[in-house]
Chains A and B, each alone.
Chain A
Amino acid sequence: MSAPAVAAPAARPGIGRTIARNQWVVGLYLLLAALLAFTFLIKPGYGPADIESLAISVLPIVFAAAAQAVIVIAGGIDLSIGSLMALTNVVAAALMAQSGEVGAVGVVLLVLILGTLLGAVNGILVVVSRVPDIVVTLAMSFVWAGAALLVLGSPGGSAAAWFMALADGTFLIEWLPRAFVTMVVVLAVIWIPLRRSRLGLSLYAVGSDRVAALRSGVPIGRTKIAAYAIGGLLAGIGGLSLSMSTGIGLPVPGPYTLGGVAAIVLGGVSLAGGRGGLMGPVAAAFILALIRLDLVFLGVTSDYSQVIQGVVLVLVVMIGGLVELRRRRA
């Protein structure tokens, strides 16, 4: 080798490099473990039932974050996730009210398809209109929310028993909530094949460097639409998870759009696109929920806990900013 500038970085063993590359995520899981330990410390009676309710309550935000993560990795952002979840939630609830137990299987499939299609509509609008993602999806958040109100004018509908059971109770051992298992299985089934596929690579490519992606032969428009469609699918699952945990349909968007954004940012997904995965956002969703929980256990009123949660988010992101700043200077 000739010029020093061309020298390859010192060969590090593959696993070491993987950890180094995912420092942030590893740190998040350590933090999550510490928070869990802390929870047990301040609330000695904290048991399987509490873990179960934690998992159920986190379920929608995890899917919202996953949906947002896929889109943000591909260089977009979807401010209509919350509305999409509300819409799929009420569609599921309204249909299940009439479908019966067996028909509910069809309802679930239908809602998944619906979510994917609605997400694809977002994506097509972004690509065709050439309007910034944030504006398109902001506008579409009104549209989907309005549509949700058309489907159900007020909270109502129902959910099949077997369907609610997916998030209810525990799996094999009492410390393993079924909601958690459902979450892991669903995310793994979608994410692992995606991450390994060429479509997955294309998502990262488009988010990382549009021009280079274009020159590498990645169809930018189609990839973006695919990202939004997958996001829509995950948002649809999020809507279903709302049905699962509440048993009804709520035609009003919950705090899942911005909550999801907070979780992915904390989870190490760069809003600039191209970086991050699903492991981080999932951990982040749990961390945010645990912080709120611990504050309640500590006797802090929910108002303060809102303040503290905001402060935590700011601090984490600031620290992340500082780390990035230092790395660039070094």
Chain B
Amino acid sequence: MSAAPAGTTEQLPASARVRRLFREQPVVPLLGLLAILVAILLTVQPGILNRPLGWANGIVYFAVPLAILAACQTLTMLTGGIDLSVATIASMTAYVMATQAPSQGDPAAILIALALAAGVGLINGIGIGIFRVQPLIMTLATGLVALGGANVYQKLVLTAGSRVPEPVAVLGSGTTFGVIPNTLFLFIPLALAIMILLKRTGYGRMLYAVGDNPVAARLAGVRIPQVLILLYVLSGLLAGIGGIVLAGAAKTATLNAADAYLLPSVAAAVIGGTSIFGGRGGYAGTIVGALILRVLLGLLGAMNTPEPIRQIVYGAIILGVAAAYARVTDDG
């Protein structure tokens, strides 16, 4: 009977094999979609071809913070969670960094800000991991708390002044050799680290396990609260880093700087093929998802689309990709 298993995959109909490819390698079709969008953009705005690097850099500067915040959603969604506090954490981190920098010096200011971000993540983790509050609610509430806290803080430091530390600005908006955006020097290692975390570490295996079946994970000896607490601390830290990069790109820090990134961060992860129910997905897809969203916005801008239409198209694309994705991967 051990002979039976061999060779069955060859008998699968072509459609099933395509589906399997899409389910296991969502990045391939996503790159196709990205290419199509870029092609459309080039026909609409052929001027880009005169200065392709500048255009690409423009995409990268804003796709990177989005991709970092979407990493938070990817990781938390793998466990069946979500982190709605990322935008607040990102803005708060950037703001605290900028206001502490004059008095504390740049490195200390960045550290203080990131510690705060991790702290909010820790609270999320404790609520979700130990008290079993639904992630949606918990992160929504800590987002409120953090925003309120940040507002209070803003009034306290109103006189102190703020500045985005020079290295952060260079990182966020500068280029090396005039062509390579500096953010990539931060982002590429960070992205690789996240992908290795998911694919090659025991902790990554825990994230998929907890999202796929928490009951089974527990019986197999996984201490779920530990996994979740660490997860949301990581998510908080990543959100903080995203906020700092964003401040670097914008060269200023305000308390609503990252608000516009919250829903797109969820959308990028979803487009990238991470299941919101947990247990399935990865970061490579999310990065492509973030690029798609940025290119899409660029495209809509290039076509001089009015804001309302832009929003509608934006929503329709998210839905369309997610639906195509569900068609392809879901076979009951």
Which residues of A are in contact with B by a Cβ distance under 8 Å? 125, 129-132, 134-136, 138-143, 145-150, 153, 258, 261-262, 265, 271, 301, 303-311, 313-314, 317-318, 321-322, 324-325
Q: Is B316 an interface residue (CB 8 A)?
A: yes
Q: How far, in angstroms, from A317 to B201 measured CA to CA in the complex?
A: 33
Q: How far, in angstroms, from A305 to B144 measured CA to CA in the complex?
A: 10
Q: Name the B residues within 8 Å of A130 (CB-CB).
A: 323, 326-327, 330
A142 with B141: CB separation less than 8 A: no
User: Lowest 6 CB-CB distances: which A-B pairs, in order?
Assistant: A142-B315, A146-B311, A306-B148, A310-B144, A307-B148, A149-B308
- Could you name 29 residue pairs across A and B whose Cβ atoms are closer than 8 Å? A129-B322, A130-B323, A131-B323, A131-B326, A134-B82, A135-B266, A138-B266, A139-B267, A139-B316, A141-B263, A141-B315, A142-B263, A143-B311, A143-B312, A143-B315, A143-B316, A146-B308, A146-B310, A150-B308, A265-B137, A306-B151, A307-B152, A308-B148, A309-B148, A310-B141, A311-B141, A314-B133, A318-B131, A321-B131
Q: Name the B residues within 8 Å of A314 (CB-CB).
A: 127, 133, 138, 141-142, 145
Q: How far, in angstroms, from A327 to B138 measured CA to CA in the complex?
A: 21
Q: How far, in angstroms, from A308 to B147 measured CA to CA in the complex?
A: 11
A307 with B136: CB separation less than 8 A: no
B144 with A138: CB separation less than 8 A: no
- Interface SS majority for chain B: helix
Q: Please give the distance in Å from B200's CB to the nearest CB on chain A.
A: 28
Q: Is B187 an interface residue (CB 8 A)?
A: no
Q: Is B105 an interface residue (CB 8 A)?
A: no
What 7 new A-B contacts, CB under 8 Å, besides A129-B326, A262-B140, A306-B144? A130-B330, A136-B319, A140-B315, A146-B308, A258-B140, A309-B148, A318-B127
A134 with B276: CB separation less than 8 A: yes
| In the complex, number of A-B residue pairs with CB atoms less than 8 Å apart | 141
Q: Please give the distance in Å from A157's CB to the nearest CB on chain B.
A: 16
* Chain A residue, CB-CB nearest to B143: A310
Q: How far, in angstroms, from A304 to B151 measured CA to CA in the complex?
A: 8
Chain B 273-332 residues near chain A, CB threshold 8 A: 275-277, 307-312, 314-316, 318-319, 322-323, 325-327, 330
Quick one: CB contact mask for B208-224 with A, threshold 8 Å, 1 for yes? Answer: 00000000000000000
Q: Please give the distance in Å from B115's CB to the nearest CB on chain A.
A: 19
Which residues of B are in contact with A by a Cβ distance under 8 Å? 82, 84, 127, 131-134, 136-138, 140-145, 147-149, 151-152, 155, 263, 266-267, 270, 275-277, 307-312, 314-316, 318-319, 322-323, 325-327, 330
Known A130-B330, A303-B148, A317-B137: A136·B322 in contact at CB below 8 Å: yes
Known A129-B322, A132-B276: A138·B137 in contact at CB below 8 Å: no
Q: How far, in angstroms, from A130 to B148 measured CA to CA in the complex?
A: 37
* Chain B residue, CB-CB nearest to A140: B315
Q: Please give the distance in Å from B129's CB to the nearest CB on chain A.
A: 11
Q: How far, in angstroms, from A305 to B147 measured CA to CA in the complex?
A: 11
Known A143-B312, A314-B145, A318-B131: A271·B137 in contact at CB below 8 Å: yes
Q: Name the B residues within 8 Å of A136 (CB-CB).
A: 319, 322
Q: Name the B residues within 8 Å of A317 (CB-CB).
A: 127, 131, 133-134, 137-138, 141
B311 with A149: CB separation less than 8 A: yes
* Chain B residue, CB-CB nearest to A312: B141
Q: Please give the distance in Å from A71's CB to the nearest CB on chain B.
A: 14
B319 with A131: CB separation less than 8 A: yes
Known A129-B322, A313-B141: A142·B127 in contact at CB below 8 Å: no
A304 with B142: CB separation less than 8 A: no
B144 with A309: CB separation less than 8 A: yes
B145 with A140: CB separation less than 8 A: no
Q: How far, in angstroms, from A138 to B317 measured CA to CA in the complex?
A: 12
A135 with B322: CB separation less than 8 A: yes
Q: Please give the distance in Å from A161's CB to the nearest CB on chain B.
A: 30
* Chain A residue, CB-CB nearest to B84: A258
B152 with A303: CB separation less than 8 A: yes
Q: Please give the distance in Å from A125's CB to the nearest CB on chain B.
A: 7
Known A262-B137, A310-B145, A313-B137: A140·B310 in contact at CB below 8 Å: no
Known A313-B137, A318-B127: A135·B276 in contact at CB below 8 Å: yes
Q: How far, in angstroms, from A305 to B149 measured CA to CA in the complex?
A: 10
Q: How far, in angstroms, from A312 to B228 measured CA to CA in the complex?
A: 22
Q: Please give the distance in Å from B93's CB to the nearest CB on chain A.
A: 17
